[in-house]
């Protein structure tokens, strides 16, 4: 199948606002045909031109005197790309009106020599009048090629501008979504009347109790969604094996898997989502991800189209895409580097995801669960009280993270009250569970230390 | 996970044991989901604290292209106490003795409860790249390494081919 068809097919599957701003592949292809015709009129068939441009490098020696040299130049002085061919040829030995022929050595086709020379006769204005030795300089502007670059450049410029708009729109929706989510995933302090964030007046960490919130908040559902989302690593892998951006197919599969897992967990229906706005926000969240996937497809298709069209031009006309003396001329054509999906993923990761504190950021590095009740060691590292008590009992005095000897000196004054309140506020359920677990473990340890038999019931 | 308040002690103890095991399980899950290149670790079906481990000899070391089998056991006190690790494959290395025991500070006095199976295995892999004959566990190998490193490397390579080829 022709790429133009593949490309059209691909665009059809994308939302119209993306497809409308696509690359004009067909128009560019037509222009390539025009360039080919134009060159043919000059007698420069692809093979001939190819040979001529090839000999340019080699012809520096003695041959230079006899073989014509052709340079392909991209004039950018006017701010536009204006390609032209600069030829150094032997002038006709007799007058131009007579059947003068340029000696083009190395060119295989006699007819091309004839047509090139006759073309030059018809366009004497190409002769720049410059002369070096016996050779005259001929400059042929390539109008269709100029049009090709013009269209390519404007095409890519519009595309780039459109991508900027897309980015801005995405950010706007994202900010809106972030507001909705933070409204529906409120911490305990905003939903339960009995809780005050500033309850640091208590000096006894043992007296801390966590009250489960009763008012409506989808904090836990959202935390689970985001944890699942991060875990699925839809667009980028953070694994040691395959770190980096994923392919479109892989991202698509993973996005589907993410949606399936949420359905399986009951997060998509009203089961775990208490608030209507949460469900709407979740839809929006999924749509944003589908959108990123589409942008990814779109950018990939355009990069492929650019590559293909330049390759086609090269094949049909033998004109190089680079200037013979200045490689940077194509800098006027913007490059679509395919980085927008990555930027969008990053925006999502920095704007939306952090509004709900994730358990990972508040876990004890020893037991890997919520570091509740949190103890801040003198070195600044934070652990849960239970793990530090265990360390103290074993006589391990070095901080597990930095080995500074501050575990044994830690006491009640090391309770991080601000953190404790924060955790009660944002992790009410996890904190309750952890507190119960701690108490149970401590009771068990006490029993063991008393040497009481563990397997039997004890009558007190 | 929750348990009625008036549960008998043996149930409570079971609960605590299960809770301790959840650390092991969650760590195992992470290990499987994001494996370290060149290292595998799989728990036994009948004992989740016992792991079959393989470590690939690091490129550029005499152990290159070898695959070494190890066993790793997480004691009840883990992560307060270090895991017990031992080479099952014979290896000619100054810090690993005939019985496969490893001389590595983090497995002994420098253990930290914040270390994990992953970090331990990475350290062992690094030990293969950087033998330390000044702190030997196999004195004869260490002597060989100190006196004629090239020849010691030759023996290490031979052993790798003999015992650790795939």
Handedness of CA A421, A354, A399, A432 (dihedral sign): positive
What one-character-per-residue DSSP string does A28-60 give? HHHHHHHHHHHHHHTT--HHHHHHHHHHHHHTT
Q: Tell me what pLDDT residue A111 has.
A: 46
Chain A residue with CA closest to B21: the answer is A367
Mean of all residue pLDDT scores within chain B:
87
Inform me whether the C-beta atom of residue A398 falls under 8 Å from chain B C-beta atoms. Answer: yes
User: b/e for A271-303, b at 16 or more Cβ within 10 A?
Assistant: ebbebeebbebbebbbebbebbbbbbbbbbbbe
B120 vs B82: CA distance, rounded Å? 9
Q: For chain A, positions 337-376, list CB contacts with chain B under 8 A.
A: 365-368
Lowest model confidence (mean pLDDT) among A166-175, B31-40, B116-125: B31-40
What is the reported pLDDT for A204? 56
Record the pTM: 0.75
CA A245 to chain CA centroid, nearest Å: 7
Q: Is B119 on the interface with A (CB under 8 A)?
A: no
The Cβ of residue A360 has, within 10 Å, a number of other Cβ atoms equal to 9
CA–CA min distance A439, chain B (Å):
11
d(CA A162, CA A57): 41
Mean pLDDT calculated for residue range B87-115: 94
Distances (CA, A) of B20 to A83, A144, B76, B106: 74, 75, 8, 22
Q: Give the one of A241, A391, A436 whose C-beta lies nearest to B37's C-beta.
A: A241
A54: tokens are 């090839």
Nearest to B39 by CA among B123, B141, B162, B140: B123
Q: For residue A423, give how far its alpha carbon lies from the nearest alpha carbon of chain B (Å).
A: 20
Contact status, residue A75 vs residue A66, Cβ threshold 8 Å: no
Instruction: Say if residue B79's pLDDT is above 70.
Output: yes
Tens of pLDDT along chain A (460 residues) come to 578 888 888 788 888 777 777 777 888 888 888 888 888 887 777 777 777 776 654 444 444 444 567 777 777 766 677 787 877 776 654 443 333 334 444 444 444 455 565 566 656 556 655 666 666 777 888 888 888 888 888 888 888 888 888 889 999 999 999 999 888 888 877 765 555 555 545 555 555 555 544 457 888 888 889 989 998 889 988 887 778 888 889 999 999 999 998 888 877 766 677 788 888 888 899 999 999 999 888 888 888 888 888 888 888 887 777 655 554 555 566 666 778 888 889 998 898 999 999 888 999 999 889 999 999 999 999 999 999 999 999 999 999 999 999 999 999 999 999 999 999 999 998 999 999 999 988 888 888 888 765 555 555 5
Residue that is written with structure tokens 């694994």 in the block: A239
pLDDT at A67: 55
Chain B residues whose beta carbon lies within 8 Å of the beta carbon of residue A403: 110, 112
Give yes or no for a cis peptide into B125 (omega within 30° of 0).
no
Length of chain B (residues) = 166
- Farthest CA pair distance, chain B: 68
Above pLDDT 70, what percent of chain B? 88
The reported pLDDT for the residue numbered A142 is 83
Inter-CA distances, A54 with A38, A60, A63, Å: 20, 12, 14
Q: How far apart are CA A316 and CA A50, in angstroms?
A: 11
Which residues make beta-bridge pairs with A131? A136
Q: The tokens of A78 are what?
A: 């006017």
pLDDT in tens, A201-258: 555 555 555 554 445 788 888 888 998 999 888 998 888 777 888 888 999 999 999 9
Chain A within 8 Å of B35 (Cβ-Cβ)? yes
The answer, for B32 touching chain A at a CB cutoff of 8 Å, is no
Q: How far apart are the C-alpha atoms of A293 and A254, rounded to whole Å? A: 11
**DSSP letters of chain B?**
----TT--HHHHHHHHHHHHHHHHHHHHHHHHHSPPTTEEEEE-SS-TTEEEEEEEPPTTSTTTT-EEEEEEE--TTTTSSPPEEEE-S---BTTB-TT-BB--GGGTTT--TT--HHHHHHHHHHHHHS--TTS-SSHHHHHHHHH-HHHHHHHHHHHHHHHS--
Judge whether A440 is closer than 8 Å to chain B, CB to CB. yes
Residues of B in contact with A239 (CB under 8 A): 33-34
Any idea which residues of B carry the catalytic annotation?
A: 103
Structural Rg of chain B based on CA atoms: 19
End-to-end CA distance of chain B: 43
Q: For residues B65 and B162, is the Cβ–Cβ distance under 8 A?
A: no
pLDDT of residue A332: 60
ipTM computed for the complex: 0.79
Cross-chain Cβ contact A365/B114 below 8 Å: yes
Q: Chain B, 145-164: which have a CB under 8 Å from a chain A CB?
A: none
Contact between A399 and A407 (Cβ < 8 Å): yes
Confidence class for position B97, pLDDT limits 50, 70, 90: very high
Tell me if B113 and A387 make a contact (CB, 8 A cut-off).
Answer: yes
Inter-chain residue contact A391 with B80, CB threshold 8 Å: yes
Section B71-79 average pLDDT = 92
Report the helix count and the strand count for chain A, using DSSP H and E.
14, 8
Instruction: Tell me how far apart the alpha carbons of residues A156 and A336 are, in angstroms, rounded to a whole number.
Output: 8
Alpha carbons within 13 angstroms on the beta-carbon side of residue B61 total 22
């Amino acid at each position: 199948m022709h790429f133009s068809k593949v490309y059209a097919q691909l665009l059809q599957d994308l939302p119209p606002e993306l497809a409308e701003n696509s690359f004009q592949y067909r128009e560019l292809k037509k222009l390539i045909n025009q360039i080919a015709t134009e060159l043919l009129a000059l007698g420069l068939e692809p093979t001939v031109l190819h040979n001529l441009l090839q000999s340019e490098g080699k012809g520096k020696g003695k041959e230079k005197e006899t073989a014509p040299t052709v340079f392909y130049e991209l004039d950018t002085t006017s701010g536009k790309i204006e390609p032209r061919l600069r030829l150094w040829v032997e002038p006709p030995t007799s007058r131009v009106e007579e059947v003068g022929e340029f000696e083009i050595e190395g060119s295989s086709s006699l007819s091309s020599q004839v047509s090139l020379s006759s073309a030059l006769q018809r366009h004497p204005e190409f002769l720049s009048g410059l002369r070096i030795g016996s050779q005259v300089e001929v400059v042929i502007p390539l109008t269709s090629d100029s049009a090709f670059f013009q269209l390519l450049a404007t095409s890519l410029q519009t595309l780039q501008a459109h991508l900027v708009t897309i980015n801005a729109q995405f950010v706007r929706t994202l900010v809106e979504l972030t507001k909705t989510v933070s409204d529906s995933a409120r911490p305990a302090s905003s939903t339960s009347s009995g809780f005050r964030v500033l309850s640091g007046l208590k000096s006894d960490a043992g007296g801390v109790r966590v009250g489960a919130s009763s008012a409506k908040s989808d904090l836990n559902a959202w935390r689970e969604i985001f944890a699942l989302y991060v875990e699925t690593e839809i667009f980028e892998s953070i694994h040691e094996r395959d770190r980096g951006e994923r392919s479109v197919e892989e991202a698509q599969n993973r996005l589907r898997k993410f949606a399936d897992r949420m359905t399986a967990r009951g997060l998509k229906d009203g089961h775990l989502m208490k608030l209507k706005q949460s469900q709407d926000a979740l839809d929006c969240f999924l749509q944003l991800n589908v959108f990123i996937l589409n942008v990814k497809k779109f950018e990939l298709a355009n990069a492929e189209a650019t590559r293909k069209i330049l390759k086609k031009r090269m094949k049909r006309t033998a004109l190089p895409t680079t200037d013979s003396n200045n490689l940077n001329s194509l800098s006027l054509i913007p490059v679509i580097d395919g980085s927008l999906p990555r930027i969008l993923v990053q925006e999502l990761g920095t704007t939306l995801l952090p509004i709900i504190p994730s358990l990972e950021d508040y876990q004890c590095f020893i037991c890997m669960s919520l570091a509740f009740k949190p103890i801040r060691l003198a070195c600044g590292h934070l652990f849960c009280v239970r793990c530090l008590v265990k360390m103290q009992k074993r006589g391990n005095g070095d901080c597990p993270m930095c080995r500074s000897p501050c575990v044994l000196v830690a006491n009640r004054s090391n309770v991080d009250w601000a953190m404790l309140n924060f955790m009660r506020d944002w992790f009410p359920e996890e904190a309750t569970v952890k507190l119960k677990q701690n108490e149970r473990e401590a009771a068990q340890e006490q029993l063991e230390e008393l040497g009481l038999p563990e397997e039997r019931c004890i009558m007190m | 996970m929750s348990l009625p308040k008036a549960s008998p002690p043996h149930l409570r103890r079971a609960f605590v044991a299960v809770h301790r095991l959840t650390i092991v399980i969650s760590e195992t899950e992470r290990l499987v989901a994001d494996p370290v290149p060149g290292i595998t670790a799989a728990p036994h079906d009948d004992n989740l604290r016992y792991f079959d481990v393989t470590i690939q000899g690091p490129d550029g070391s005499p152990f290159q292209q070898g695959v070494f089998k190890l066993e790793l056991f997480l004691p009840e006190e883990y992560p307060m106490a270090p895991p017990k690790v031992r080479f099952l494959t014979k290896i000619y290395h100054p810090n690993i003795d005939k019985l496969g025991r490893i001389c590595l500070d983090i497995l002994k006095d420098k253990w930290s409860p914040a270390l994990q199976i992953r970090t331990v295995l990475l350290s062992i892999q690094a030990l293969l790249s950087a033998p330390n004959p000044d702190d030997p566990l196999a004195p004869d190998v260490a002597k060989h390494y100190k006196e004629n490193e090239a020849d010691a490397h030759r023996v290490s390579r031979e052993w790798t081919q003999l015992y650790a080829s795939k």
